[in-house]
Amino acid sequence: MTRNFPTRSLSLRRSVLSVPAINVRALEKTHALDCDAVIFDLEDSVAPERKAEARKNLKSFFSGTPLVNKERIIRINALDSTFDNADMELVLALEPDAVLLPKVDEPQDVMSISDRLTDADAPESLRIWAMIETPRGILNAAAIAEAGRTPGSRLDCFVVGLNDLRKETGVLPQPGRTYLVPWLMQVVLAVRAYGLDAIDSVFNDFKDADAFDAECAHARAMGFDGKMLIHPAQIEAANLHFGPDEAAIAEAEAIIAAFADPAADGLNVINANGRMIERLHLVQAESLVHKARLIAERQTAK
């Protein structure tokens, strides 16, 4: 029997900027930035003795002028940490678009937080993003993604964390990420099997624009939807690489037009300018054009 899973999100997630919740100035700057999403970080970028201060900062920020045309994600501390309950209370009070769960190792991690959100009557629109950043997380990527399509799960997106993965495996941070590619592709395969999105890991040297540009192109070629960023200087390149270019948009529009021709009624495969095109290409084309439309609407709204 064929198992049908929900289609992937059509949200823009080209550039996902991580901002330390302890940095009030950085929080305020997010209003003017052209990133698609903001991760408000309560975890790695905040020292243990300043966690309460960071939560207070976020509460104040969310009560002010809302972000426009940006997804809002709060990265909490690990569920088994001493900050777990306080972080979750903040998430329930602020109701961001998603909560980012660090170091997801197994399906139960996702289901546990899904159950907590549901039991607290959190709106269905409050989704879960999962950080895949441990050896167990990589090995269990498919099972975690599959759990995201079980009843009650709110899983929407994977974010790869290579800094922790390198630390735990001993893989060196080399250009091209040669020895990490198999694991990255394993994540992409898992999310595509179950209709989720995948965000590539951060690039640590934000001053090396050429290397960052190359890594964005590499991640896009592997099939990632966007990249997690650590500095506003990286936003423009991420938007460029993970957004459709003019040639791709024109090709997609031509495919849509070809299937709209009455002569294509009832056909799953058509000949368009000497190229055989299937209806699966139509679905891809419609998704790409929709993404281009979202980008154009964002530019108009500035």
Whether 229 and 176 map to the same domain: the answer is yes
Domain boundary among 213, 242, 271: 242
Whether 237 and 260 map to the same domain: the answer is no
pLDDT at 153 (0 to 100): 93
pLDDT at 197 (0 to 100): 96
Residue 8 lies in a domain: no
pLDDT at 1 (0 to 100): 37
Complete DSSP assignment for 241-285: HHSPPHHHHHHHHHHHHHHHSGGGTT-SEEEETTEEEEHHHHHHH
Give the residue carrying structure tokens 């709110």.
154
Q: Which residues are annotated as a binding site for substrate?
A: 75, 133
Domain boundary among 242, 265, 286: 242
pLDDT at 7 (0 to 100): 54
Whether 148 and 118 map to the same domain: the answer is yes
Q: Using DSSP, state whether 2 is helix, strand or coil.
A: coil
Burial class (CB in 10 A: 0-12, 13-18, 19+), 116: middle
Domains identified in the chain, total number: 2
pLDDT at 22 (0 to 100): 98
Whether 55 and 111 map to the same domain: the answer is yes
Whether 165 and 266 map to the same domain: the answer is no
CATH of the domain at 45: 3.20.20.60
Whether 233 and 258 map to the same domain: the answer is no
pLDDT at 8 (0 to 100): 56
Whether 105 and 141 map to the same domain: the answer is yes
Contact between 160 and 129 under an 8 Å Cβ cutoff? The reply is no
Q: Which residues are annotated as a binding site for Mg(2+)?
A: 133, 164
Whether 254 and 126 map to the same domain: the answer is no
Domain boundary among 191, 216, 242: 242
Please list, in sequence order, all residues whose beta carbon lies within 8 angstroms of the beta carbon of residue 142, skipping any fewer than 6 positions away: 186, 189, 190, 193
pLDDT at 126 (0 to 100): 97
Whether 275 and 130 map to the same domain: the answer is no
Could you list the residue range(s) of the whole structural domain that residue 268 is in? 246-301
> Which stretches in the chain have pLDDT values below 70?
1-10, 301-302
Tens of pLDDT, residues 4-53: 554 556 689 999 999 999 999 999 999 999 999 999 999 999 999 999 99
pLDDT at 4 (0 to 100): 52
Q: Which residues are annotated as a binding site?
A: 75, 133, 164
Whether 133 and 117 map to the same domain: the answer is yes
pLDDT at 302 (0 to 100): 65
Whether 158 and 282 map to the same domain: the answer is no
